[in-house]
Amino acid sequence: MAHYLDELNDIQRAAVTTTEGPVLVIAGPGSGKTRVLTYRIAHLLEKGVPPWEILALTFTNKAAKEMKERIEKVVGQRAQQVWAGTFHSVFARILRAEASKIGFPSSFSVYDTDDTMSVLRSIIKEKDLDPNAYNASVIRSRISLAKSNLISPLGYREKADMMEEDRAARRPFVVDIYQEYVSRLQRAGAMDFDDLLFQLYRLFRENPEGVVEKYQKRFKYLHVDEFQDTNFLQYAILRRLLKYEGSPENVFAVGDDAQSIYAFRGATIDNILDFEKDYPALKTFKLEQNYRSTHHIVQAANAVISHNRRQLQKTIWTDKTERSKIKLIKCVTDDEESRRVADLILEQKNRFHLPNSEFAILYRTNAQSRKFEEHLRRLNLDYRIYGGLSFYQRKEVKDFIAYLRLTVNPNDEEALRRIINYPTRGISDATVEKIGRSASANGITLWQAINDPRLDITERARKALFTFKSIIEDWQKRANAETAAKLAAEILRRSGLYELLKQDSTQEGLSRLQNVEAVLDAISEFTDQGDPNADLAPDDRSLGAYLQTVSLLTDADEQKGERDQITLMSVHAAKGLEYQSVFITGMEETLFPSFMSFEDPQGLDEERRLFYVAVTRAKRFLSISYAQNRYRFGQIRVCEPSRFLAEVGEDHYEMVGGSSGRLQQPALPQQPRAGISGNFSTGRRNPQPARPVVSGADAANFQAAAPDTIKAGDAVLHLKFGKGKVSSVEGPKDGKVATIRFEGDELPERRIVLKFAKLQVL
């Protein structure tokens, strides 16, 4: 038996050596998930499977890189030829090779959130719509939801429930914005992140023989990491790759339904829970031994997650003998909470000689970080906020990247708008607006409209436009002939950006200049090393090839943490990380679990999974804190302990700060929640609308009452739950919670936060 197999326990080894047919590995936290996934690929290579026939999909480029490095230690350089990357990066490679088949250039730009928001604001303004009713962020989420469920603009119009939801929310023209947004991106030769999935599925659907067959034959073995985080569309694409006559269905999915915490991004837990329905021959392996955490931490996690109804049953265990209990810290105020957490960190540092980097403070909302920062500074403890401003989101970096993007794709309208007059070159906002109107009127791009002789602009502006366009065109001619490093260095100099940044001699100005120079360093490194994953064009050192890699970096890929610092972050950001000592803070009802989960028991299940993730980040010490009073929305609020604290069980706690009595919180009844369907055929079950409007309710004329006017005994109407009667109202003025019995509801009653509910008094 190969020596690497000797490093695995019996269940891990069985999973790794089961190479044919569909396999699902349910991997509990700290159970060696990454080792199983990497050794499985190494085992295939050792059996003689060509590396280019293996596809491994992850959620971060960092995970893909680490995977290849681990495989390389077992099998050598062959590992570098495995197709491993994020869903978006791998699918973008396929799209760049096949983009012409769906009307896109191979050099298409990838729009980030800022680009998307800019396009949407422009459309909302041009359509003369109220920017408050048509909030660009809300519209972006709506469009993203549609794309993630394979709903095109035409399909959106045909979805009566979605159209009704928009009318009820007083924004009936969302579908028109969506239609125009799609047209703008097509015209600009650009895709947003959702399009990298949506357009790939479209490519496969419209080219079943020429394209789909090509990749079905190429990828004989598919691997998916963090399978519980996949959404409807990602799974639909996987199904396309596996669905053909005689397919051995060689898919190896690794995940943990108990760590499915990204429903707000469109992830659906149904993919992992119902996997066996799609693949009846599925072989399932459960990795239940936890190598990370101590006894009480593991048992607490088991106790909490057992309260969720829909789950794949497993019992995590550990052979670690240390019996340190979980510290439960009861505080009078949130300020006391942050002070006591900081003091306990200092105590653990001194007592157990732990570095700062082995401590993490987790919270449900980012707004909670401020008080912890204050008290850590008081003790002179160095810390960092995980998930801060991404390097590639800094203004000076985005300005430089915009020049590079426009050089590769002249139709990239967002890049053009960003730099057309930066540094200042005499092209006013009024001139740009006239160019935009000309482009819209003639159905052409901004780049093409620059040459419109009918533009009513000054000669000075026309000359400036000509000079600008000539410079960009010169770079465009050289983009494929010169290396990325050489051309980027000239663009930085000739654009005037470098000189402009150099003029600012302040510390902040020097930092901005260094950031731009860091981009040049990254491009030089790319030019020297190339992109080992880009086997469609392995020798491509062009600017376009570089932009392809940088546009797909995720926040998780950029976190360095080289200094010895305590980490502060949201629980969502903590997934996949581990620390010797973890503090889970703010464990109060309406905060954790969030008040937004109260209307929907499946939302409460997700909150519980989020707490499960937080608990299992701890290796040796776990401390949980809550406050009896907390400032929220500008006012002090009386808080109740989170129901999750009682679910852990008091046997696992060491009470701190006068905690006494029993922690008992009523759990809400549970019911399934559906998703949203797509208008393309995927050969798989279609989710259903997430928030249906009650049949017979006049959504257009619905009038929500002011929260402070609703009282016990009122008959009310809710667009989702229908007619009901308020049995009680309790809590402070801005935090009132109503208990309501709805007619025909399968639940006896629901508790709804009035500030966020929409109820019409009948």
DSSP 151: -
CA angle 97, 145, 113 (to 5 degrees): 65
Catalytic residue among 617, 630, 632, 750: 617
Structure tokens at 104: 């896109």
User: If we measure between CA atoms, which residue out of 551, 18, 3 comes closest to residue 284?
Assistant: 18
Between the alpha carbon of residue 615 and those of residues 181, 361, 479, 501, 570, the distances in Å are 42, 12, 50, 46, 13
- Whether 678 and 155 have beta carbons less than 8 Å apart is answered as yes
Clarify whether 311 is annotated catalytic: no
Establish whether the linkage from the previous residue to 51 is cis, with ω within 30° of 0.
no
Burial class (CB in 10 A: 0-12, 13-18, 19+), 395: exposed
The end-to-end CA distance of the chain, in Å, is 74
Does the annotation count 504 as an active-site position? no
**Cβ atoms within 10 Å of 624's Cβ, excluding its own:** 28
Q: How many whole angstroms separate alpha carbon 205 and alpha carbon 194?
A: 17
* CA–CA gap between residue 398 and residue 597 (Å, rounded): 36
Give the span between the Cα atoms of 245 and 96, in whole angstroms. Answer: 27
The answer to whether 760 touches 705, Cβ cutoff 8 Å, is yes
User: 116, 259, 268, 548: which one is catalytic?
Assistant: 259
Question: Nearest Cα to 87, choosing from 189, 185, 200, 191?
Answer: 200
| Catalytic annotation, pick one of 166, 226, 599, 607 | 226
Strand intervals (E) in 492-571: 566-570
The DSSP secondary structure of 203-233, one letter per residue, reads: HHHH-IIIIIHHHHHH-SEEEESSGGG-BHH
665 is catalytic: no
Active site includes 313? no
CA distance 233 to 235: 5
Contacts of 63 (CB under 8 A, 6+ apart): 34, 225, 576
Please enumerate in sequence order all residues whose Cβ is within 8 A of that of 359, keeping only pairs 6 or more positions apart, or say none: 345, 348, 349, 566, 567, 579, 580, 581, 582, 583
662 three-class SS: coil
Torsion of CA 231, 194, 516, 547, to 10 degrees: 110
33 catalytic residue (yes or no)? yes
Let me know if 34 is a catalytic residue: yes
Q: CA 599, 600, 601: angle at the middle one, nearest 5? A: 125
Which residues belong to the active site? 33-34, 225-226, 259, 617
